Structure 1
Amino acid sequence: MPENNDNFNKYTPFFSASSSQIFLQKCYNREKIADAEMKSYENCYPFIYHLEHAKTYYLQAAISPLSIQPILSFYGLAQLLKACLLTIDPNYPESTSLLAHGVTTRKRKKQQYEFLKDEVKTQKNGLFTCISEKMFHIKHLEGEKYSMDTLLKEIPDMETLSWDASRKSFIPLLQYSDGFQLSPVVLDNYRMSSSRLEEFLNSKTNQGYHITEGPGVVLLKTDHGLLHNASSPIRYNWAEGRFMLSINKESTAFSLPELLLHYLISYNLSIIARYETEWWAELLKTMPNDDYPCIVQFLKISQAKVPLLIFEWLKSERFGF
């Protein structure tokens, strides 16, 4: 995975009013928005400013003390997502309710608090709900609760932190002909036949999976290729450069797009860094449990990976390529 300060190099063409205007007009035409050309001119600078602001946040996070990195990372992510929303809705934000975070967490932590057991709860309005519905066409997430442990287990790059092979949460997909190979152990993990696994995965996503068995291997094909930001249990491990299938079939976050995972975790960490000063300082000084390495690893991964995921969405997945 590239270093944090390299991850905005791909965005360079966007830092031009003419290039961003053409891009936005293309987006608005696809959405069949009236006066697409005029609105693209109106929004090209706000679009650029969101990207520039995000770049500044992420660059500062990379060189800042760990104590304030969660705050900078979260606001960098928020700025990138607002740029994405401008490609869908030229009038964003249409109301102040959309400026809220869209997530809440327990403000005062209990004694013996553990980050991995902490939860966030989604709300009816706000940025999280807006990106869920407009970027990923996911509705009815209001009131859902997610633990940090559940969310972290759905990020494949986090697996390098586990020294216990029995705790693996993903199985790699190996490129093969016009599809992918998986180890047959996947059927044992899911406790399903290949036909039942195909049915199960298709019920969790709109990607269209086709699964068959070969000699000592499970073969997977898709209707439209694999996406980095799909509502799917197949996620991209940037560190290893390949897609991987989650085996956490009971997880409430099993098919959430990875950007939503990063948003929920980053939001909670930013709240802790801002308001739970005593616990946060103690964690950084004493490193008492698995919370510390998980948080450090997540921040490193998220700061590097989020700009890449957003770029994939903007340049490819925005138009269904």
Structure 2
Amino acid sequence: MSNFSNNLEVIILQDIWQKLTYFHSAETTQKFLHHCYKESLNEKADIKSYENCYPFIYYLQHGELYYDQAAKAPMAIKPVLLFYGLIHLIKACLLSVDPNYPETTSVLAHGVSSRKRKKQQYQFSNDEIKIQKLGLCTHFAKQMFHVERLDGEKIIMKDLLEQIPELDEYFLFNQQPNMFIVHKLDQTFTIPITILDKYHLTLDSFIRFIKQRNCLEIQKVFTEGKNIILQTDLDSSPLLPFRFHLFKQEYCLPFKQSNYIYYPELVVHYLLLYNLSMIARYETEWWCELLKTTPTNDYSLIKGFLSITAQKVPYLVYQYLSKKR
């Protein structure tokens, strides 16, 4: 990345942590949680918001400590610090939608398993994980994003990496585009028309595809040159399958249509960091060889992802909480 991009990342991260200090006040956080609980808990909202305000604050502060240490740590242990930092931030978010978290011990497990690794010709991008029925992964996906039936899914790391918009330049370096940039100006979205070929859809079926997910209230559609123009009635942020490129400050659509384009990005980061943290802890020989000799494309992808997730996760958490506020 250019020096400008690196400076922008630092500014964005500092700004996000500063904004999250809004929730460091017990009085402010109790009012926030009361607002979150009042419809579901009614008269009990006062009690639960009081009980949960300090755990909420501590989760955020502890998460920030992990991210702060990860910024100073060598790459060898970054995945572990970032993963546990993410877990604490997720727990804070969960308290905004699940007043009784953790109601059972089953939601304390990670909820993901990794396969036994082959010692020869192993590549992280081809590695596979499996989402378990019980655990934090399925719990926060359901509670925070209303995503059901993740358990049993076997997922290849490359498919997850392709869902990270900021990794687009790493894929482009290998002549494998990662994202279509979607330009948004007020109530108008401009999408490259080549997306129809990649998704194997007609214009009408593409619009139905977008509308089915209720991510945009489309008022008018037309083509103009090499672009599809969508006009909406509100200047709103689109939902999945659109993703937001933090550094370019643009919306994107994944280059490939797959089941993973509907995975909330916090779930994507959780799964990738889980696997990388397991490798850093238990596959020391392979991990150290990767860091010392950089034999494959895995190194650039992993290093790029670790830099990006350190910036993106706090942003996603802030966006999630601010919308509820």
TM over 0.5: yes
- Which amino acid letter does the alignment assign opposite residue 226 of structure 1? S
Percent same amino acid among aligned pairs?
Answer: 43
1:241 aligns with 2:252: no
Q: What CA deviation, in whole Å up to 9, does each residue of 1:261-301 have, x standing for no partner?
A: 00000000000001001100110000000000100000000
1:219 aligns with 2:229: yes
What are the equivalent positions in structure 2 for 1:1-321 lying under 5 Å apart? 1-3=8-10, 4-164=13-173, 166-203=175-212, 205-208=213-216, 210=218, 212-216=221-225, 217-221=227-231, 225-227=236-238, 230=239, 232-249=240-257, 251-316=258-323, 318=324
Q: For the residues of structure 1 that align with 2:174 and 2:196, how far apart are their CA atoms? A: 17
Return the structure number with greater helix share.
2
Aligned residues: 313
TM-score by length of 2: 0.91
Structure 1's 127 and 285: CA in aligned 2 closer, same or farther, altered over 3 A?
same
Is there any run of 5+ residues in structure 2 with no aligned partner, and where? 1-7
Q: State the secondary structure of the residue aligned to 1:253.
A: helix
Q: State the secondary structure of the residue aligned to 1:313.
A: helix
User: Per-residue deviation at 1:89?
Assistant: 1.3
Q: State the secondary structure of the residue aligned to 1:67.
A: coil
Q: Is the 8 A contact 1:194 1:213 kept in 2?
A: no
Q: Is the 8 A contact 2:128 2:154 kept in 1?
A: yes
2:5 alignment counterpart: none
Is there any run of 5+ residues in structure 1 with no aligned partner, and where? none
Q: State the secondary structure of the residue aligned to 1:181.
A: strand
Q: What CA deviation, in whole Å up to 9, does each residue of 1:3-60 have, x standing for no partner?
A: 2455311111111111111111111114345410111111110000000100000000
Q: For the residues of structure 2 that align with 1:221 and 1:110, how far apart are their CA atoms? A: 52
TM-score by length of 1: 0.92
Q: For the residues of structure 2 that align with 1:33 and 1:122, how far apart are their CA atoms? A: 35
Q: For the residues of structure 2 that align with 1:242 and 1:29, how far apart are their CA atoms? A: 35
- Which amino acid letter does the alignment assign opposite residue 281 of structure 1? C
Q: Does 162-171 or 77-86 show the bigger shift?
A: 162-171
Q: Is the 8 A contact 2:187 2:233 kept in 1?
A: no
Q: State the secondary structure of the residue aligned to 1:167.
A: coil
